[in-house]
């Protein structure tokens, strides 16, 4: 037994080498797609003047959660500008939006399928456990081999790392819908798809949005790791500050990440809740019609 060793790592390495040798064209195409999505979102955030983006986010914050949140969002974004981290912050925000959107687009349907089909849940749960507990740095090795240095491996590693909460909380929310409510829909002759669309998904929305929130937060937590593979943005500055032991740069980049995280967290938390000017006006309009 002293000389026995199961070469799990060698098997994984051989598998990755086979994929690189035989499916490189597929991953080259995916790389172009990911980079194109990132470049498009980054252009939309970086091309307008910083003041324009700040005003837009401030107005959205006002509509989402009210005056205080709108003003605090504006103040936080002005602080990012004052620290000369605006371009890096927009690059990071673009990466997070692309990766989180793809993770949500994959995670919510998987969560729905897991809630509806038990054998899918039996397969998906251990896979999500594996993805969420594996150290994030490990994802970077095959991602670099398959997608090369740049934003693409950062996006892929972020998707893999952040997808699990979206799957879990979507499944949990749908399974938590009152069975009597579902049976009432069935008694009226509603199809399973209509029950899902009009009963289960609306009632499970708070849980689903909690999953979306966690996906976004985990995506932001991968910013520094994405910086290691050349994704740039705030993660690149954090890595540079670590290499140079530059406390000032590290604090400024880290504080910018915190500001973005707080804004995104509050935005996603506002969905499905009766908060903000928009919901207040909608409630008043409903009372007026009554």
191 contact partners, CB below 8 Å, separation of at least 6: none
pLDDT of 102:
92
Q: What is the DSSP letter of 83?
A: T
In this predicted model, what pLDDT tens digit does every residue of 80-109 receive, in sequence order?
989 888 888 888 888 889 989 999 999 889
pLDDT of 271:
65
Which portions of the chain are predicted below pLDDT 70? 1-4, 271-290
241 contact partners, CB below 8 Å, separation of at least 6: 247, 248, 249, 250, 253
Give dist(CA 251, CA 59) in Å, integer.
Answer: 28
Q: Where are the alpha helices (DSSP H) in the chain?
A: 8-22, 24-46, 50-65, 67-82, 86-116, 118-133, 136-147, 151-175, 179-187, 192-195, 201-221, 223-228, 233-244, 247-270, 276-289
Centre a 10 Å sphere on the Cβ of residue 218 and count the other Cβ atoms it contains: 22
Answer for the pair 261, 220: CB distance below 8 angstroms, yes or no. yes
**Domain spans of the chain?**
8-289
pLDDT of 141:
77
The CA–CA distances, whole Å, from 167 to 23, 125, 126, 128, 207 equal 27, 9, 12, 8, 11
pTM above 0.85, yes or no: no
8-289 to CATH, choices 3.40.50.300, 1.10.3720.10, 1.10.390.10, 1.20.1600.10: 1.10.3720.10
């Amino acid at each position: 037994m002293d000389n026995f060793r199961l070469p799990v790592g060698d098997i994984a390495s051989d598998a990755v080498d086979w994929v690189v040798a035989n499916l490189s064209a597929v991953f080259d195409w995916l790389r172009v797609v990911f980079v194109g999505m990132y470049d498009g979102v980054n252009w939309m955030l970086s091309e307008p003047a910083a003041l324009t983006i700040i005003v837009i986010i401030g107005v959205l914050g006002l509509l989402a959660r009210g005056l205080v949140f709108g003003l605090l969002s504006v103040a936080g974004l002005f602080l990012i500008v004052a620290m000369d981290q605006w371009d890096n912050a927009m690059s990071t925000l673009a990466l997070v939006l692309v990766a989180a959107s793809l993770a949500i687009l994959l995670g919510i349907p998987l969560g729905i399928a897991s809630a509806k089909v038990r054998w899918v849940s039996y397969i998906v749960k251990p896979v999500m456990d594996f993805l969420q507990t594996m150290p994030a740095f490990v994802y970077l090795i095959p991602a670099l081999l398959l997608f090369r240095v740049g934003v693409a491996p950062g996006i892929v590693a972020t998707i893999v790392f952040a997808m699990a909460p979206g799957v879990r909380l979507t499944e949990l929310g749908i399974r938590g819908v009152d069975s009597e409510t579902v049976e009432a829909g069935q008694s009226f002759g509603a199809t399973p798809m209509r029950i899902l669309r009009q009963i289960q998904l609306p009632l499970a929305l708070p849980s689903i949005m909690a999953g979306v929130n966690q996906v976004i937060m985990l995506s932001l937590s991968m910013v520094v790791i994405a910086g290691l593979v050349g994704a740039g943005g705030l993660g690149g500055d954090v890595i540079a500050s670590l290499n140079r032991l530059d406390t000032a740069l590290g604090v400024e980049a880290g504080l910018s990440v915190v500001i973005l995280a707080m804004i995104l967290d509050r935005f996603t938390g506002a969905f499905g809740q009766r908060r903000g000017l928009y919901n207040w006006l909608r409630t008043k309009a409903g009372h007026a019609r009554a």
